[in-house]
Amino acid sequence: MQVYGLIGNPVGHSLSPPMHEAGYGSLGIDARYVTFEPAPDDAAEAIEGAGALGVAGLNVTVPFKQDALEAVDPAPLAERIGAVNTVDFAPVREGDADRPRGHNTDAAGVKRAFSHHDVEIDGRDAVVVGAGGAGRAAAFALADAGAAVHVANRTAERAVELAEAVPGATGAGLDDLGDRVAAADVLVNATSVGMDDPDATPVPAEHLHGDLAVLDAVYAPIETRLLREAADAGATTVDGAWMLLFQGVEAFEIWTGADAPVEAMNAALRAELE
């Protein structure tokens, strides 16, 4: 039996175990997915320890995604984003490397969530609100898929800094966010706005329009005020569970080498969210 898992602190709320185990069950893979909660400054020790115990793959969540970079051989995209959310121990187990391979599948989560909804990214104008972990992944994903990206963030300096690293991107504070969204084709909310306060929204409704595709990274609640108002404006909406699903699907495929059973994993995730 293979063991996969997640390190984070806290991880008690994680939706990943039922999602991944539905995938193993659907393909008849003999595996379990478990959660580990190391102390907040123990990312490297936890990853090394998991490898020593024979864990085949690890997902990494808050607060370990940046520190995990130090414990792995990062794939180029993970290095550019500056964060690792998926660790693959196969290169070490097979004697090909000293360190496990580190990936960032949050970017694939954004890209595949849009493509699943037939949203074209190449050549489009995209606005990413937020410059934290999710914002970094979204900005690189959209730029690599051919979008012209504008990053808007409450702390303007973080947006400018991120935009300097993302090909062709611009970055600023929130002052002209409304005008940017009004002129955009694609919008990603990568802030936590709308999570703790369901009445909050990162973009006032008056700027939303029918030519927009909107992904909200927030998945609890699953229907945020932003998505409700975007749907009212005629926009295509993609909820945060799709991003969560596809980052998991991408990790599953890296670890197992099999095409993930997307429908089974999605059903398990949505059952858990409901």
Active site residues: 65
Residue nearest to ligand NAP (CB): 132
Residues numbered 203-232 forming contacts with ligand NAP, rule: CB under 6 A:
217-219
Locus of tokens 């991120």:
162
Residue 108 and residue 81 in contact, taking contact as beta carbons nearer than 8 Å: no
Locus of tokens 């749907």:
231
Residue 1: how many CA atoms within 13 Å on its side-chain side?
Answer: 10
Least CB distance to ligand NAP at residue 96 (A): 30
**Binding residue for ligand NAP (CB under 6 A) from 103, 124, 158, 225?**
158
Measured between alpha carbons, how far is 242 from 111 in angstroms, rounded to an integer? 10
Task: Report if residue 134 touches ligand NAP, rule: CB under 6 A.
Answer: yes
Least CB distance to ligand NAP at residue 260 (A): 15
Task: Report if residue 132 touches ligand NAP, rule: CB under 6 A.
Answer: yes
Tokens describing residue 240: 């945060």
Least CB distance to ligand NAP at residue 196 (A): 9
Question: How many residues contact ligand NAP, by CB under 6 A?
Answer: 24
Task: Report if residue 247 touches ligand NAP, rule: CB under 6 A.
Answer: yes
Closer to ligand NAP at the Cβ: 98 or 199?
199
Tokens describing residue 137: 């992944």
Measured between alpha carbons, how far is 84 from 122 in angstroms, rounded to an integer? 25
Phi, psi of 31 (to 5 degrees): -155, 155
**Binding residue for ligand NAP (CB under 6 A) from 8, 57, 100, 130?**
130
Task: Report if residue 153 touches ligand NAP, rule: CB under 6 A.
Answer: yes
Check whether the bond before 40 is cis (ω within 30° of 0).
Answer: no
Task: Report if residue 190 touches ligand NAP, rule: CB under 6 A.
Answer: yes
Measured between alpha carbons, how far is 149 from 111 in angstroms, rounded to an integer? 14
Closer to ligand NAP at the Cβ: 106 or 229?
106
Window contacting ligand NAP (CB under 6 A); options: 6-14, 45-53, 236-244, 256-264: 236-244
Measured between alpha carbons, how far is 27 from 38 in angstroms, rounded to an integer? 30
Closer to ligand NAP at the Cβ: 21 or 106?
106
Q: How many CB atoms lie within 10 A of CB 212?
A: 22
Closer to ligand NAP at the Cβ: 49 or 178?
178
Least CB distance to ligand NAP at residue 244 (A): 4
Task: Report if residue 177 touches ligand NAP, rule: CB under 6 A.
Answer: no
Phi, psi of 93 (to 5 degrees): -60, -35
Closer to ligand NAP at the Cβ: 19 or 212?
19
Measured between alpha carbons, how far is 148 from 166 in angstroms, rounded to an integer? 10
Strand 101-103's sheet: what is its strand order? 31-36, 2-7, 57-60, 86-88, 101-103, 73-74
Task: Report if residue 193 touches ligand NAP, rule: CB under 6 A.
Answer: yes
Residues that bind ligand NAP (CB under 6 A): 106, 109, 130-135, 153-155, 158, 190-193, 195, 217-219, 240, 243-244, 247
